[in-house]
Chain A
Amino acid sequence: MLKVNDKELNFTGSIKELLDYLKLNQSSCAVLVNGEIIKRKDWEKYLLKNDDYVEIVSFVGGG
Chain B
Amino acid sequence: MFTIGGKTLKSRLFVGTGKLPDYTLISKMYYEAKVEVFTVAVRRIGLNTKHEKSVLEFIPKEAVIMVNTSGATNYKEAIKIAQIGRELTSSDWVKVEIEKDTKYLFPDNYETLKACEILVKEGFKVFPYIYPDLTIAKELEQIGVTAVMPLAAPIGTNKGIGCEVLLKPIIAEVEIPVIIDAGIGRPSHAAQAMELGADAVLINTAIATAKDPLVMALAFSKAVEAGRLAYEIGLLKEYEYAQASSPLDDFIKG
Contact = CB atoms under 8 A, between A and B. Distances in A.
A contact patch SS: strand
A29 B89 CA distance: 10
Interface string A1-37: 0001101000000000000001111001110100101
B55 A60 contact: yes
Contacts of B16: 61-63
Given A5-B45, A24-B51, A25-B53, A60 B40 contact: yes
B41 A22 contact: no
B contact patch SS: mixed
Contact of A24 (B20, B45, B57, B155): B45
B39 A63 contact: yes
A57 to B, nearest CB: 5
Interface of A: 4-5, 7, 22-25, 28-30, 32, 35, 37, 39-40, 55-63
Contacts of A35: 80
Interface of B: 16-20, 23, 39-47, 51, 53-57, 67-68, 70, 80, 83-84, 87-89, 155, 182, 202, 204-205, 208
Contacts of B84: 30, 32, 37, 57
A62 B83 contact: no
B87 A40 contact: yes
B35 to A, nearest CB: 14
A40 B90 CA distance: 13
A39 B56 CA distance: 18
Contacts of A5: 44-47
Contact of A30 (B20, B41, B87, B202): B87
Contacts of B53: 25, 28
Contacts of B205: 63
Given A4-B47, A5-B45, A58 B87 contact: no
B80 A62 contact: no
A56 B44 contact: yes
B55 A59 contact: yes
3 shortest interchain CB distances as A-B pairs: A62-B41, A63-B16, A28-B54
Contacts of A61: 16-20, 23, 40-41, 55, 208
Contacts of A7: 47
Nearest to B17: A61
B87 A57 contact: no
A40 B84 CA distance: 11
B54 A37 contact: no
